[in-house]
Structure 1
């Protein structure tokens, strides 16, 4: 086996994104050092050092993803608690959908996200991610229930605000490019919902002016837009990165 192949096999201990960025440069340096030392490949000490370095890189990557999870869930929890305190706090009135002094049950989601953030900070990343996904699922149920029952929220806009950071914490992106794609997907989702809201307003006005006896569709246009756009944007944010990762792995 050639020296290059032996070094490449050792470098496979390193994460794929590290190899994409550094492998060729490091490989050239290793081959030059081996040639200068009169070796035809890595010696035992060098091989052990490369393996340990690769394991350390994987450990650092996992720690980065844990920090990303904690940061994203803290953002989601803060936004949810701000919404619960500043928007839904209404102790002097009562209406359908009220939960104690709150005008809708979103405070339950906010509490769950706060617990998820606490778990992430305590190092219980797996439990934190599961709770974040459950919180988003619960929020979806509340949005649909509010729309069907005439509650005072939460609306689709709240879902668009809280779901991206919560899901980004549950499924943390890889590197700066992944975070940028998540942010772009979140902005795109908000723009889609704004457009759906405007379209719904104009549609309602048009029906009222032209055919007031025609019933409006039972499904809220914003909910329909969210149901279609959210999975597509999430896929667009993650699929290209996964695809490139697999291609890079196959090439090496």
Structure 2
């Protein structure tokens, strides 16, 4: 087996994205060092060092994603609790959809997200991610129920505000650039939803063009905009910015 193939096998201990970015440069340096030392491959020290380095890179990435999960879920929990306290707290009123002193049941979602954030901080990342997904699913159910039953929220805007950080915590990106793209996609989603709400609320002509014979509440247009924009923006946030270069010497 050639020295290049032996070094390539050792570099497989490293994460794929690390190899795509650094693999060829590191391989060249290793081959140059071996040639300068008169060796025809890695010695025992290099083998151990490369294996340990690869495991460390994988561990760092796992820990980094755990930090991303905790941070995103903390953001989601803070936003949910802020909405619950400042918008839904209404102890002196009673109406359809009220839950105790709260004007709608979003307090349940806020509590679940707070627990998920606590689990993430405690290192129970898997449970935190599952609870975050369940929280978003529950919020979707509440939004639909509120719209169909005439509750005082939560509306689609609350879903657009809370779902992106909660899902970013449940399905964390692999690096800082991914976090930035998730944040940009979430911002774009809120902007799209606000635009749809403004158009539906203030443009009777638009509503007539969309459904001239059928009453079309503003919330239905908001739902439609959310359903169309959310998957597209989520895919755009996770789509690779460029094709990964094929390593030199790889099979075609």
TM over 0.5: yes
Which deviations, in whole Å up to 9, do the C-alpha atoms of 1:168-193 show, x marking residues without a partner?
Answer: 00000111221121011101111110
> Quick check: 141-150 or 17-26, which moved more?
17-26
Structure 1 residues 130 and 244 mapped into 2: Cα distance closer, same or farther (>3 Å)?
farther
Kept in 1: contact 2:68–2:169 (CA 8 A): yes
Give the 3-state SS of the residue equivalent to 2:123 in structure 1: coil
Distance 2:57 2:209 in 1: 64
Which deviations, in whole Å up to 9, do the C-alpha atoms of 1:106-130 show, x marking residues without a partner?
Answer: 0000000000001001111000000
Which deviations, in whole Å up to 9, do the C-alpha atoms of 1:62-81 show, x marking residues without a partner?
Answer: 00000100000001001100
Kept in 2: contact 1:16–1:248 (CA 8 A): no
Q: CA deviation at 1:251?
A: 7.4
CA-based RMSD = 2.9
Structure 2: where are the runs of 5+ without partners?
none
Structure 1 residues 91 and 27 mapped into 2: Cα distance closer, same or farther (>3 Å)?
same
Q: How does 1:103-142 map to 2 (within 5 A)?
A: 103-142=103-142
Deviating 4+ runs (over 4 angstroms): 205-214, 241-252
Distance 2:48 2:100 in 1: 62
> Quick check: 123-132 or 187-196, which moved more?
187-196
> Quick check: 217-226 or 161-170, which moved more?
217-226
Match of 1:208 in 2: 208
TM-score by length of structure 2 reads: 0.91
Kept in 2: contact 1:17–1:245 (CA 8 A): no
> Quick check: 4-13 or 234-243, which moved more?
234-243
Kept in 2: contact 1:20–1:248 (CA 8 A): no
Which deviations, in whole Å up to 9, do the C-alpha atoms of 1:4-45 show, x marking residues without a partner?
Answer: 221111111101222122212211221111111110111122
> Quick check: 102-111 or 211-220, which moved more?
211-220
Which deviations, in whole Å up to 9, do the C-alpha atoms of 1:139-183 show, x marking residues without a partner?
Answer: 011111111111111111111110010000000011122112101
Distance 1:179 1:50 in 2: 29
> Quick check: 162-171 or 239-248, which moved more?
239-248
Q: CA deviation at 1:250?
A: 7.5
TM-score by length of structure 1 reads: 0.91
Count of equivalent residues? 252
Kept in 2: contact 1:16–1:249 (CA 8 A): no
Which deviations, in whole Å up to 9, do the C-alpha atoms of 1:38-57 show, x marking residues without a partner?
Answer: 10111122112211110111
Distance 2:50 2:38 in 1: 19
Structure 1 residues 28 and 86 mapped into 2: Cα distance closer, same or farther (>3 Å)?
same
